[in-house]
Amino acid sequence: MSNSDMQTKTTAKPVKATDLHVGGPEDMLPGVPKRDPIVVATNITRTFGGLKAVDVESLQIPRNAITALIGPNGAGKTTLFNLLTGFDKPDTGDWALNGKSLKGVPAFKVARMGQVRTFQLTKALGMMTVMDNMLLGAQNQTGEGFFQAIIPSMWRKQEDDITERALDLLERFKLVKLKDDYAASLSGGQRKLLEMARALMCRPELVMLDEPMAGVNPALTQSLLSHIIDLKSEGMTVLFVEHDMQMVKHIADWVVVMAEGRVVAEGDPKTVMRNQAVIDAYLGSNHGKDLGTDTDTVNTMKELLDDQR
Amino acid sequence: MDWGSLFTNAAYEIISPTTAAYALAAMGLAVHFGYTGLLNFGQAGFMAVGAYGFAISTLTFGFPWWAALLTGIAASVVLALILGIPTLRLRADYLAIVTIAAAEIVRLLFTTNTFAAVTGSAAGLSGYKTSWQAMNPIPAGNYNIGPWVRDHNEVWLLIVAWGLVGLAALLIWLLMRSPWGRVIKGIREDEDAVRALGKNVYSYKMQSLVLGGAMGAFAGMVFVLPRSVQPGNFQPTLTFFIYAILLLGGAATIFGPIIGSMIFWTLLSIFSGFTARAVEIGWLPFMTSLQAGQVRFILVGIALMVIVIYRPQGIFGSKKELAFVKQ
Amino acid sequence: MAYHRRALRLRKNIFVALFGLIFAAFMLSSLAVAPAAHADEVGTDEYDYAISGFVKFQDEPLDGVLIKVEGNGYNAEVKTGADGKWKIGVPEAGTYTVTLVEDTLPEGVIVAEEGKDVAEVTFGQSKTKAMNFFLGQGERVTVSFFDQFLDRAFNGLSFGLLLALASIGLSLVFGTTGLVNFAHAEMLTFGAFMTFTFGPVLGFPIWLAIPIAVLLTGLFGFLNDYALWRPLRKRRVGIVQMMIVSIGLSITLRYLYQYIYGGQTEQLPGATGAEVITVGPISFTIVDVWSMSISIVLLFAVAFFLTRTRIGKATRAVSDNSALAAVSGINVERVTSIVWIISGLLAGTGGILWAYFRPGVNWDMGFQLLLLIFAAVILGGIGTAFGALVGSLIVGMFVELSTLWLPSDMKYVGALGILILVLLVRPQGILGRKERVG
């Protein structure tokens, strides 16, 4: 998708959340405390075979805002996602959701506490129908207990309720016509939508989206973007990883930049994009490499340079 | 043996207690492998603890049949827990190797002379059927079932064995259309996705392992009721044959394991009857009657390969809901 | 949260303890009861074949002497009756090991010649076979624990080395193709049967029969890949499916062997009756010396191949990351073919050595070793050749040394138990990298 496409489509400016951090514009430094953080992480490190994949001294995610996590490939964004959601264990560090420590909490409990994620490579369950995918997202289902499952009358009512809620969401995400299709038959973009809708079935407080736009047909990006903005207006907090700078600029209230495992810059989108450390991070990580092979990073870099002019 | 009796014998395999036992064991595997994606290669071990649990508690501790039955099931639950704790977090191929190893440990413990007084070591156990036969409500005598004549004990066993198969099928059907089954099928496909939706994947896998293992234990008990308990019957090959049955019928189906078991045993019987007869009358001069017995197992192996390669969903499975997930 | 984790660990410990308790109760209950049924006949009703004997000393029958029979996957034991007679039914004609347990003889009576308390019995035409032991007066000098330890350790080393030959191939194949090959054991059997065919059957000298058999197994390995696995890889068949296909292949081959060679156990030339050499507490035969030398030479050859040759380095690269290797210009299919040939050569040699170690050649001899091969490979870290070597030596040693404490019919239990314990503590194996388990 080219940049000009993007700009022509994103005409309606979303309302940005401002004044998220403690202090003035000069305080927009890595690790700056937030006025109302939903996630507070300190000293998170994770090494793979002697290589520090993540080394984050301090990071706070502002509540009821859209935070973008950007950085070149291999910066440790997905690893950080995995660590925050309990899918991987850090070597050191502490982190908390709403003040409750998540250290050592298994992934499924993290999700139950209201912090739900999606994956970079979509994990729509292809051999199940779209509706079954949705219903799987609902929490506290009586029928998910072994003995209750045998007696349908114990869970029929609840099943009807969550089916109704699922239909509402599918309607919103324009998937309702496909509800009885196997998820495997959906297009890449539809699967991204499904995964997001399914995450909403959990009634999350914090939605973590790992590259929600990757591989999505341009026709669907607009609707995905507006869904993400809607999440904020419904009171949720969003943290997402993205490569597309235009999109980040367009919807993010706050941007966190990672490079080589560290947070190198934080701030509102405009400030961050002007930050020398950010430009260095993108250039530096590719120093000595063949730039042509990594189009994502090259595009990001070009966008950053365009912005500076 | 004449040709007619060959077919009546083969047709009896459709309803024989052994077919029911294999069907039950295959249904247990359907829960493990077909629905949950757990590659359990130790079903023979679950059958063994069920059979030995029943026989030992009867012979050594003098339990009545119902207590012996509960002991057999309890033993399989304990085995499932012991197995599940270290292995359910591992990759599929690791789980396969650990379960087959555990089943072999179980078999070797039942074979060793060290516990001969309890297990009967290699000779096995017999004489545990008294309490079971005493509660047979069917009056003594011979009965006609279609073209076959069977005594009251066999009829009683047939009723119980197929009753159990029916109950197991009903249970699986109820479970797999419930939200519980939805979680289980989700795990088969991508456990991380299910975990991210707040489900305790480990606990569900354990429940599945226990359920399928208990079905294996029932299968073990039904299997040894028409014969004696022999450790040699619970070799890894038993598990492999059950896989052949499961994949023949369809791994993620309710009736697949049952029909698979019927087809497997009927074909095996027809084939061995046919080759035995053919060798006898000199149609296969290059083959001895002993060799004729081997040919059918060679064919089982070939059939297993062919099914898995060309029709992995089995006879009854749907291609869209395949048990094999690309990993 | 710390509380939560402690609770989990506690729960695990409880399970482990529970298992131990059940196991202990099982052991105790079996000890409490008389150790063996006091009948002078066992298994004679079920089976057509039987071994019988008459234990007497100075023309007096001896009562309650324990006799054990083991072989062809069967074992049984019986005590002599008041008339000194015993009889054990066995399932098939073949070779059995008969042991007279000296401890059960009256005081002052021993088997006349040292080592003759164990005898091999092979069935000929008749369905019964007599086996009598010659007893004499005297006291048996028991071997010290340390001497026994050395002897078993030597045996364990010999076993571990041949196990390594069998394991490395499986591990290399897994590393390059991701296949857990259940039919690997059938390559071992193939090597042993080819030696039997070219040696005793066709009359080639054994020094010629063995290399022919090894080369043929290498070819067999290549054909396995060429005719079956490569087409399946092309079809993009998943690893679980491939694993089950390998089980089908294993069943097919095993019963094919039985079809061709029958169910009995055959011996390779020199496998039995070789002169026993004793060095200190360690006793061995010239066959053991050959076996260990061949293993060591081959293992060095594999090490040289993997670390010093171009194609060996390519093999390790493919093992490490086959996609990356393919991108960097390595012909992955060619490497895979070579790995299968090497796997066949090693497995064939391992199978022949196993036929000498057991001793005997029969249709499921390889399958008997399969789980120990898996244990060795996982113990060392699946996918690494060096790991397979280390794992094999540990498993070999463990199997043999465990007989110091465990009855010999339970020696595999320990090794398989270790496999499960290792997976509990360190799933990637001793030398494996953590990422492999992922």
Residues A180-193: pLDDT tens digits? 999 999 988 889 99
Is residue C355 included in any domain, yes or no? yes
- Read off the pLDDT band of A8 (50, 70, 90): very low
**A150: which chain B residues are within 8 Å (Cβ-Cβ)?**
171, 174-175, 178
Helix axes C184-196, C145-177, angle to 10 degrees: 110
- The CATH class given to the B3-127+148-321 domain equals mainly alpha
Residue B15 CA to residue B64 CA, distance in Å, equals 27
Q: Would you state the pLDDT for residue C82?
A: 80
Q: Do B182 and A128 touch (CB under 8 A)?
A: yes
Q: Do A127 and B179 touch (CB under 8 A)?
A: no
Q: Do B304 and C407 touch (CB under 8 A)?
A: no
| Distance between A213 CA and the closest CA of chain B, angstroms | 18
**B39: which chain C residues are within 8 Å (Cβ-Cβ)?**
240, 243
C127 plus C231 within the same structural domain: no
| Distance between C7 CA and the closest CA of chain A, angstroms | 13
Residues C361-374: pLDDT tens digits? 999 999 999 999 99
**A105: which chain C residues are within 8 Å (Cβ-Cβ)?**
1, 4
Q: Would you state the pLDDT for residue A3?
A: 44
**B190: which chain A residues are within 8 Å (Cβ-Cβ)?**
123, 125
Of residues B105, B118, B122, nearest to C413 (C-beta): B105
Among A56-60, C69-73, C291-295, the range scoring the smallest mean pLDDT is C69-73
Give the domain CATH number at C430.
1.10.3470
Tell me the whole-structure pTM to 2 decimals.
Answer: 0.82
Question: What DSSP line would sit under A122-141, residue for residue?
Answer: ----TTSBHHHHHHHH-SS-
Chain C contact partners (≥3 CB pairs within 8 A): A, B
The chain-wide mean pLDDT, for chain A, equals: 84
| Residue C28 clears pLDDT 50, i.e. is over it | no
Interface residue B210 vs chain A (CB under 8 A): no
Q: Would you state the pLDDT for residue C140?
A: 60
Residue of C nearest to A105 (CA): C1
Q: Which two tokens stand for residue A80?
A: 């950080």
Q: How many CB atoms lie within 10 A of CB A275?
A: 19
Q: Do B199 and A150 touch (CB under 8 A)?
A: no
How large is the average pLDDT for residues B120-125?
87
**B174: which chain A residues are within 8 Å (Cβ-Cβ)?**
149-150, 152
Burial status of residue C328 (CB atoms within 10 A of its CB: 0-12, 13-18, 19 or more): exposed
Q: In total, how many domains does chain C have?
A: 2
Q: Do C4 and A103 touch (CB under 8 A)?
A: no
Q: Do A199 and B197 touch (CB under 8 A)?
A: yes
Q: Which residues share a beta bridge with C285? A: C276
Residue of A nearest to B210 (CA): A146
Of residues A48, A49, A105, nearest to C1 (C-beta): A105
Residue of C nearest to B306 (CA): C245
Which amino acid appears at position A43 of this protein?
N
Residue C53 CA to residue C250 CA, distance in Å, equals 39
- Read off the pLDDT band of A43 (50, 70, 90): very high
Q: Would you state the pLDDT for residue C426?
A: 77
Interface residue A127 vs chain B (CB under 8 A): yes
From residue B99, alpha-carbon distances to B40, B95, B236, C423 in Å are 6, 6, 10, 12
In this prediction, what percent of chain B has a pLDDT beyond 90? 63
Q: Which two tokens stand for residue B59?
A: 């012979």
Q: Domain ranges in chain A?
A: 3-124+204-308, 126-185
- Read off the pLDDT band of C29 (50, 70, 90): very low
The interface predicted TM-score of the complex, written ipTM, equals: 0.90
Instruction: Identify the residue with better confidence: B274 or C8.
Output: B274
Is residue C80 included in any domain, yes or no? yes
Q: Strands C49-54 and C85-90, how do they pair? A: antiparallel
**A127: which chain B residues are within 8 Å (Cβ-Cβ)?**
185, 188-189, 320-322, 325
Among A16-20, B193-197, B231-235, the range scoring the smallest mean pLDDT is A16-20
Of residues A128, A146, A148, nearest to B186 (C-beta): A128
| Residue C281 clears pLDDT 50, i.e. is over it | yes
Show which of C87, C121, C142 is a domain's final residue: C142
Residue A192 CA to residue A209 CA, distance in Å, equals 10
Listed residue (C168, C59, B179, C121) closest to A154, CA to CA: B179
| Distance between C253 CA and the closest CA of chain A, angstroms | 35
**B232: which chain C residues are within 8 Å (Cβ-Cβ)?**
73-74
| Distance between B117 CA and the closest CA of chain C, angstroms | 6
Listed residue (B22, B80, B74, B5) closest to B259, CA to CA: B22
- Read off the pLDDT band of A12 (50, 70, 90): low
- Read off the pLDDT band of C428 (50, 70, 90): confident
C135 plus C169 within the same structural domain: no
Task: Name every residue whose Cβ is closer than 8 Å to that of residue A26 and which is 6 or more positions away in sequence.
Answer: none
Q: Which two tokens stand for residue C298?
A: 């081959």
Q: Would you state the pLDDT for residue C2?
A: 43
In this prediction, what percent of chain A has a pLDDT beyond 90? 52
DSSP state at residue C133? -
Backbone angles phi, psi at A55, to 5 degrees: -150, 80
Q: Would you state the pLDDT for residue B41?
A: 94
Interface residue B170 vs chain A (CB under 8 A): no
Burial status of residue C14 (CB atoms within 10 A of its CB: 0-12, 13-18, 19 or more): exposed
Is residue C266 included in any domain, yes or no? yes
Q: Do A136 and B178 touch (CB under 8 A)?
A: no
| Residue B288 clears pLDDT 60, i.e. is over it | yes
Residue of C nearest to A109 (CA): C1
Cis peptide, bond prior to residue A204, ω within 30 of zero: no
Question: What DSSP line would sit under chain A, residue for residue?
Answer: --HHHHHHH--SPPPPP---BSS-GGG--TTPPBSSEEEEEEEEEEEETTEEEEEEEEEEEETTSEEEEE-STTSSHHHHHHHHTTSS--SEEEEEETTEE-TT--HHHHHHTTEEE--SS----TTSBHHHHHHHH-SS-GGGSHHHHH-GGGTHHHHHHHHHHHHHHHHHTT-GGGTTSBGGGS-HHHHHHHHHHHHHHT--SEEEEESTTTT--HHHHHHHHHHHHHHHHTT-EEEEE---HHHHHHH-SEEEEEETTEEEEEE-HHHHHH-HHHHHHHHHTTTTS-GGG-HHHHHHHHHHHHHH-
Of residues A119, A155, A202, nearest to B178 (C-beta): A155
**A103: which chain C residues are within 8 Å (Cβ-Cβ)?**
1
Residues C403-416: pLDDT tens digits? 888 888 888 998 88
**B76: which chain C residues are within 8 Å (Cβ-Cβ)?**
none
Interface residue B324 vs chain A (CB under 8 A): no
Q: Would you state the pLDDT for residue B321?
A: 64
Residue of C nearest to A88 (CA): C438
Of residues A48, A49, A101, nearest to C1 (C-beta): A101
| Residue C294 clears pLDDT 60, i.e. is over it | yes
How large is the average pLDDT for residues A282-303?
49
Is residue C24 included in any domain, yes or no? no
* Domain membership of residue C125 as a residue range: 41-142
Among C175-184, C211-220, C241-250, C271-280, the range scoring the smallest mean pLDDT is C271-280
Q: Which two tokens stand for residue C93?
A: 């004609």
- Are the C-beta atoms of A246 and A7 separated by less than 8 Å? yes
- Read off the pLDDT band of A283 (50, 70, 90): low
Residue of C nearest to A87 (CA): C438
**C419: which chain B residues are within 8 Å (Cβ-Cβ)?**
97-98, 101
Question: What DSSP line would sit under C253-315, residue for residue?
Answer: HHHHHHHHH-SS-B--TTSSSPPEEEETTEEEEHHHHHHHHHHHHHHHHHHHHHHHSHHHHHH
Q: State which fold the A3-124+204-308 domain adopts.
A: Rossmann fold (3.40.50)
Among A74-83, B153-162, B210-219, B240-249, the range scoring the smallest mean pLDDT is A74-83
Listed residue (A161, A86, A79) closest to A116, CA to CA: A86
Cβ-count burial A194-222 (b if 16+ within 10 Å, e if not): bbbbbbbbbebbbbbbbbbbbebeeebbe
Q: Do B196 and A150 touch (CB under 8 A)?
A: no
| Distance between A211 CA and the closest CA of chain C, angstroms | 22
Q: How many CB atoms lie within 10 A of CB C125?
A: 5
Residue A273 CA to residue A79 CA, distance in Å, equals 23
- Read off the pLDDT band of C432 (50, 70, 90): low
Q: Would you state the pLDDT for residue C117?
A: 80
Question: How many CB pairs lie under 8 A apart between chains B and C?
Answer: 183
| Distance between B70 CA and the closest CA of chain C, angstroms | 16
- Are the C-beta atoms of B24 and B215 separated by less than 8 Å? yes
Residue C105 CA to residue A15 CA, distance in Å, equals 97
- Read off the pLDDT band of C31 (50, 70, 90): very low
Of residues B100, B117, B298, nearest to C371 (C-beta): B100
- Read off the pLDDT band of C60 (50, 70, 90): confident
Chain B contact partners (≥3 CB pairs within 8 A): A, C
Instruction: Identify the residue with better confidence: B276 or B181.
Output: B181
- Read off the pLDDT band of A292 (50, 70, 90): very low
From residue B111, alpha-carbon distances to A169, B78, B117, B277, C164 in Å are 59, 20, 11, 35, 27
C182 plus C218 within the same structural domain: yes
Residue B170 CA to residue B161 CA, distance in Å, equals 14
